[in-house]
Structure 1
Amino acid sequence: MRSTRARVRLGRWGMAVTLVLVAAGAALAGPPGAAVAASVPMGAEAWLQRIQQAAALSSYQGTLAYSVGGTTSSARVAHYCEGRQTYERLEQLDGESRLQYRHNDQVVTLWPAAKRAVVEHRDPVAQFPALPATSTTRLLENYEVQKLGQERVAGQDADVLLLKPRDRHRFAQRLWAHRDSGLLLRNDVLAPGGEVLESSAFVDVRLGGKAQPEQFLKPMKQLDGFRVLRPQAERTQLEAEGWVLSKPVPGFQLVSCTRRPLDITGSDSDPPLQVVQSVFSDGVAQVSVFIERYDAKRHPKAMGTSVGASHTVMARRGDWWLTVVGEVPMATVQQFEAQLERKR
């Protein structure tokens, strides 16, 4: 089951698993199509662009809380943007002690008790408080944007927006954006009945500030006494790996495909087992499809699980094992699994 947990750690984009806040490097852009623009309120595009730009360009420090299924985890974050340079420190406050430092796309994760360090380069994957770097056209094709009013979050005035899904393939999202900067202060994922499935939010936050680069760069370089792991990931294409979706899942587009070690700690095997991860996005929600060789010793029987908004399907496909994870309805996850076909 360890390899299953590793796949889920790689697949979850919310704070519950990685608690890594990677602000996307590009803002939402592009005018909506005429058919969509006629059905959305004026200013919807501007609101989404503002949220994305704030995540990419703002400096902030604070405490984050993530709640799902009655369980809450938290982290302390310091995030600074100076020109094209981004620095970040993230400290997990629950469970095993973990620190993470980032300078642009270079990330160093430290487990002090285990004296283990993982050094890797990451693409700028969107996570709270960012939205995926995609066009507003794509997002507005899948969601209707409504302004609900104004509230306070972490002592800050915020505008409240609702992203209402246009079909049953995705969940609604409620966003609280800082009134002055646009920084996303809270994000709830809602079930069809309106109940909160997951919530990511700042408990306290301070905007602005100036980075002291050495406070981030020094811990990333001084790794004496740590077992240093450098997992290698390479970009690939789903078709090049011999797979294809026989029919697109409505609203979702492939945004990345990577071959990487299944367990970045290197504890499962040496050399590490490999997994192909394909990420699909609808402009807000993301679904990860993991493909690896089937191993009867490591893989359980086919199953589906649900935790909050996150749904997972695991199934055998001949000599292969598929894991599909996404913060979308179970039927959407099942559709990805059913339509994935082996071409060679």
Structure 2
Amino acid sequence: MSMPRVSERRLFGRLGVGVMLLSCATLAGAQAAADPAQWLSRMRQAATNRTYQGTMAFAAGSQVSSSRVTHISEGRERYERIEALDGQMRQQFRHNGALLTLWPQTRVAIVEQVEPIADFPALPASSQRALESYEIRSIGSDRVAGHEAEVLLLKPRDALRFGQRLWAERETGLLLRTEVLSPRGDVLESASFTDLSIGGKLAPESVLKPMKKKLDGYRVVRPQAQPTQLDAEGWSLKGSVPGFQLLNCVKRPLDAADEAGAELQVLQSVFSDGLTHVSVFIERFDAQRHKPMRTMLGATHSLMNRHGDWWVTIVGDVPMATIQQFEALLQRRP
């Protein structure tokens, strides 16, 4: 199973929320200035309901990358175009839940329907649940990519999660920059706009036209994710990791196949504490492909281990001790 790319998880918001009346922006801004917690809701709404275009930069450990992103909001319709500016060329085009990813160098096209999972510049839907695990306070003002910003500190209430600093654009609430902090206050990873234009009229055709093209010369992959439940697949957690709740559980095909040529599948469960995520992947064990491993890159920790006839991968922007708790609680039903 290929591991999720850290930069993709952290850089691009994929959260669908209801449309916010923009005429309320001034009132919301005044309320948020008085109550730092309300900035979380403003950030979440702005990432989806605003039109913006800019360049994002991401840094974790020795990895540095950047992407150009265009996000268009028209009524209930959302359009997004993302182009990687570093490394192998990659383009993504999204209209609501329909996502097309193109890899021109290898001539691979991935066509899929995706569920909304929040990442920069969005935040998860449960701002209230985040406040159960984090203390939030305003620590001043700053400028990011030419925009005035309110700076917020989210301090974890326990050792199971990392702290974060967030920069929110003063007028719209759009998240401009984020840093994940170690318990000592060191920056583990960061994501930020380096240039940004908010508002204006952008053409949805810049997204729709590439999605309508024939993919001649490309190997087209259409992964089909099936919603399911952990217990329906024979798994459960014999307890809970404090603060984390199950968001969704799906079963999707792997790129690999067994000796008989049958398609293999992986089970993915996503847990959230309202601010960050932990993903648990379960698939059949294959001695040729699977070797126990622990990795760390920036704030992202992952653990891969065998559980009987199964192979479990757990990954998230949380301390390794949190990852280990998820593994210890995971059990196969007899």
TM-score with structure 1 setting the length:
0.89
Structure 1 residue 247: deviation in Å?
1.0
TM-score with structure 2 setting the length:
0.91
Contact 1:26 1:133 survives alignment (8 Å): no
Q: Greater CA deviation, 241-250 or 207-216?
A: 207-216
Note the alpha carbon deviations across 1:253-285, whole angstroms, 9 max, x for none. Answer: 00000101234xx79996542100000000001
Structure 1 residue aligned with 2:178: 187
Structure 2 residue aligned with 1:198: 189
Contact 2:98 2:114 survives alignment (8 Å): yes
Structure 1 residue 44: deviation in Å?
3.0
Secondary structure at the counterpart of residue 139 of structure 1: helix
What pairs up with 1:127-142 in 2 under 5 angstroms? 127-134=119-126, 136-142=127-133
What pairs up with 1:314-333 in 2 under 5 angstroms? 314-333=304-323
Structure 1: gaps (5+ residues): 29-40
Note the alpha carbon deviations across 1:108-156, whole angstroms, 9 max, x for none. Answer: 001112222110000111110000112x331110000010000011111
Report the CA distance shift for 1:279/1:180 in structure 2 as closer, same or farther (over 3 A): same
Structure 2 residue aligned with 1:149: 140
**2:301 aligned partner, one-letter code:** H
Contact 2:111 2:222 survives alignment (8 Å): yes
Matched-pair identity in %: 55
**1:214 aligned partner, one-letter code:** E
**1:336 aligned partner, one-letter code:** F
Report the CA distance shift for 1:309/1:217 in structure 2 as closer, same or farther (over 3 A): same
Distance in 1 between residues matched to 2:37 and 2:248, nearest whole Å: 24
Distance in 2 between residues matched to 1:50 and 1:19, nearest whole Å: 18
**1:150 aligned partner, one-letter code:** S
Distance in 1 between residues matched to 2:218 and 2:202, nearest whole Å: 26
Distance in 2 between residues matched to 1:118 and 1:54, nearest whole Å: 28
Structure 2 residue aligned with 1:31: none
Contact 1:87 1:211 survives alignment (8 Å): no
Structure 1 residue 24: deviation in Å?
3.1
Higher relative contact order (CA 8 A, sep 6+): 1
Contact 2:257 2:264 survives alignment (8 Å): no
Structure 1 residue aligned with 2:30: none
Secondary structure at the counterpart of residue 144 of structure 1: strand
Query: How many corresponding residue pairs?
Result: 320
Note the alpha carbon deviations across 1:313-340, whole angstroms, 9 max, x for none. Answer: 1111110011100100000000000110
Structure 2 residue aligned with 1:43: 35
Contact 2:13 2:47 survives alignment (8 Å): no
Deviant stretches of 4+, over 6 Å: 266-269
Distance in 2 between residues matched to 1:203 and 1:268, nearest whole Å: 45
Distance in 1 between residues matched to 2:303 and 2:251, nearest whole Å: 20
Note the alpha carbon deviations across 1:153-211, whole angstroms, 9 max, x for none. Answer: 11111000001100111000100000110000001000000000000100110001223
Structure 1 residue 216: deviation in Å?
1.1
Distance in 1 between residues matched to 2:10 and 2:36, nearest whole Å: 30
Contact 2:36 2:152 survives alignment (8 Å): no
Contact 2:102 2:110 survives alignment (8 Å): yes
Does residue 1:118 correspond to 2:114, yes or no?
A: no
Determine which of 76, 87, 95 is the counterpart of 1:95.
87
Report the CA distance shift for 1:304/1:210 in structure 2 as closer, same or farther (over 3 A): same
Determine which of 192, 210, 218 is the counterpart of 2:201.
210
Structure 2 residue aligned with 1:281: 272
Distance in 2 between residues matched to 1:26 and 1:217, nearest whole Å: 22
Report the CA distance shift for 1:21/1:271 in structure 2 as closer, same or farther (over 3 A): farther
Distance in 2 between residues matched to 1:253 and 1:126, nearest whole Å: 15
**1:294 aligned partner, one-letter code:** F
Structure 1 residue 56: deviation in Å?
1.7
Secondary structure at the counterpart of residue 324 of structure 2: helix
**1:305 aligned partner, one-letter code:** T
Structure 2: gaps (5+ residues): 21-32
Distance in 1 between residues matched to 2:295 and 2:10, nearest whole Å: 19
Distance in 2 between residues matched to 1:164 and 1:268, nearest whole Å: 46
Secondary structure at the counterpart of residue 7 of structure 2: coil
Determine which of 275, 300, 304 is the counterpart of 2:294.
304
**2:228 aligned partner, one-letter code:** T
Does residue 1:313 correspond to 2:303, yes or no?
A: yes
